[in-house]
Chains A and B, each alone.
Chain A
Amino acid sequence: MAKQIELETVLRGEEARAFNKYVDSPKQHFTQESKALFREARQLSKEWP
């Protein structure tokens, strides 16, 4: 049997603060590669699954 995957990630202390900062930050810098992938995925989502 394969190992169990934890569905929940629990963040505490500095990890929680860093995560909150990420959520709060107004924008994220995405690479050109990720922007292209998101565009393709958005289009794909209109026809698949």
Chain B
Amino acid sequence: MTIDIYSLVFSKLSGDSDVSSFACSDSKDLEDFLRNDAKTRQQEKISITYLVHSGTDLVGFFSLSMGCITSDSVKKMSLKIEDPPNKYPALLLARMATKDGLRGQGIGREMLKHVFAIAFKLTEQIGCRFVKVDAKRDPRAIRFYENYGGFIKITQNSETIQMVVDLNKIDDEENSITV
């Protein structure tokens, strides 16, 4: 199945959303989350899930929460503020998946673009310094986030690699182009 990425429709998960057809054999956890947990967590305001449709076909989803990054040596940093916090607010891309058989067609890139659109909007309203992602320990996933989102690795555990990108650096990059 070939996807026209320009026809993708992004919408927020709702109580009526049918997610039963979504299959992600690479990660049963992602599949399980969407089918069984996403609606409840959204009702509880733990995470918000966005669905991506091509026609009537559910081809991907991503889920966002607020997170934070705590650094134990923050006071040594040369931040422009006098008493820097040791916790940084971050938009957490908690989960993102493309349906089986549709990878490599740009759906993931489109989803990441929408994540940054939300991040840019968010930073106009509340403090949010980073976008953070828990990436699978898969070289393709890491390259994807590095290449398309400018993410860098900050730590890891047995299952995931945590990566961030500094939204201030994106602002600086854009300002350096426009000035």
Contact = CB atoms under 8 A, between A and B. Distances in A.
Interface of A: 1-3, 5-13, 15-20, 22-24, 26-28, 30-31, 33-35, 37-42, 44-45, 48-49
A41 B116 contact: yes
A20 B76 contact: yes
Nearest to A7: B67
Contacts, number: 140
The 4 A-B pairs with the shortest beta carbon distances in the complex, nearest first, are A41-B116, A2-B33, A44-B117, A45-B117
Contact of A34 (B79, B115, B148): B148
Contacts of B121: 45, 49
A49 B29 CA distance: 27
B16 interface: no
Nearest to A43: B117
B147 A22 contact: no
